[in-house]
Amino acid sequence: MSSMPRLFVNSDLVAGDAFALNEEQSKYLIRVMRLGSGDPVRVFNGRDGEWRAQISKADGRRADLVPVARLRSQQAHGGARLTLLFAPVKKSETDFIVEKATELGAARIQPVITERTQTRTVRLDRFAKIALEAAEQTERLDLPEVSDAVSLDAALEALPSGTPVVFCDEAGDEADAPWGGQAGRAAPMADVLGELGNRPAAILIGPEGGFSPAERAFLRGRADTYPVSLGPRILRAETAAVSAMTLWQALCGDWS
Ligand code: SAH
């Protein structure tokens, strides 16, 4: 049996209370998946858990669903909340970061503009669509919050006070050595996370050009900010984002 389609909907999910899908979702079920009245569909809305619904009406451009049985409850947010703060990079890599952050359970995805960020505007509608499709595929019961790009300072200010910021710092402190040499390099991320436990946290990833010396000095001097190393090689921003979120979920988040 083909895997039952899974859709995010805005409607309340109450047994027997039919609701209409939007045109795009209706076309997907009817034309792409070639489903019709009576066929089952899984739906979630971020509030009422996941339900098995049935198509109760299907014509070319419009389908109605009626919730039948709840399959999963909206458990209180499984693990601690993870926020990803990342400097946008090239378009497809940025799309990749949004999709992987959704699969890796980020509660919030916040693009930040740093001194060396090349891409200074982001397409919020595009991010929201990528996050929604990834949430449907990855069997999440909620969508990550996706926000418009803001300055690094504004993003840090907006964090609940005391939120630990895991600052992925690729550099050392030797100004004239290639990317800062060895002096002053951050501690391995796994060691630092051991200190943090399963507190809600934010992970900060810089742009292709890394953080400026002034940004590094500011971040290293900032309370609740934990510089971490992701090993002896320079990772692309998208690799660093996936690696850091994976490690955090494994040691502090909902993978344990
Ligand atoms: N400055 C580097 C590239 C930065 S990579 C250069 O000029 O080649 C982009 C971001 O990924 C960095 O800002 C950092 O947040 C993260 N990153 C990459 N490799 C890392 C490492 N080994 N340790 C910690 N963070 C890393």
Report the pLDDT value the prediction gives residue 3, as an integer from 0 to 100: 76
Q: Which residues line ligand 1 (CB under 6 A)?
A: 168-170, 179, 205-206, 208-211, 229-231, 233-235, 237, 240
CA of 60 to the centre of ligand 1 (A): 49
Q: Whose CA is nearest to atom 26 of ligand 1?
A: 170
Please report the atom of ligand 1 found closest to the CA of residue 211.
Answer: 13
Please state the atom number of ligand 1 nearest to the C-alpha of residue 204.
15
Q: Cα(132)–Cα(235) distance, rounded to whole angstroms? A: 27
d(CA 240, CA 203): 10
Query: How many angstroms is it from 172 CA to the middle of ligand 1?
Result: 11
Taking 50 as the pLDDT cut, the residues of the chain under it are: 1
For the entire predicted model, the pTM comes to: 0.94
Count Cα atoms within 13 angstroms, Cβ side, for 135.
26
Residue owning the nearest CA to atom 17 of ligand 1: 170
Task: State in Å: Cα 236 to ligand 1 middle.
Answer: 7
Instruction: Give the angle subtended at the CA of 116 by the CAs of 113 and 119, to the nearest 5°.
Output: 55
161: which DSSP letter? T
Evaluate whether 207 touches 115 at the Cβ level (below 8 Å). no
**d(Cα 129, Cα 126) in Å, to the nearest integer?**
5
Residue with tokens 């500011």: 218
Q: What Å distances lie between residue 81 and 47, 60, 68, 77, 206, CA to CA?
A: 16, 41, 31, 8, 21
Cβ(125)–Cβ(147) below 8 Å? no
Sheet holding 40-44, edge to edge: 6-8, 40-44, 50-59, 62-72, 19-20
CB-based contact 113:89 (threshold 8 Å): no
List phi, psi (to 5°) of 50: -110, 135
Q: Is 127 exposed, middle or buried (0-12, 13-18, 19+ CB in 10 A)?
A: buried
Residue nearest to atom 6 of ligand 1 (CA): 209
> Do 80 and 61 meet the contact criterion of CB atoms below 8 Å apart?
no
Q: Please give the pLDDT value at position 184.
A: 77
Question: Which atom of ligand 1 is least distant from the CA of 232?
Answer: 22
Domains along the chain? 6-72 (2.40.240.20), 82-251 (3.40.1280.10)
Orientation of helix 237-251 relative to helix 91-103, angle to 10°? 10
Alpha helices, DSSP H, located in 104-253:
124-137, 152-158, 189-196, 213-220, 237-251
What single DSSP character describes residue 46?
S
What is the DSSP code (8-state) at residue 116?
T
According to the model, what pLDDT value does residue 119 have? 87
CB atoms within 10 A of CB 227: 20
**Quick one: pLDDT at residue 78?**
63
4: which 2 tokens?
């039952």
Distance 86 CA to ligand 1 centre (A): 11
Choose one of 235, 243, 247 to mutate for the ligand 1 pocket test, by most ligand atoms within 8 angstroms of C-beta. 235
pLDDT reported for residue 253? 92
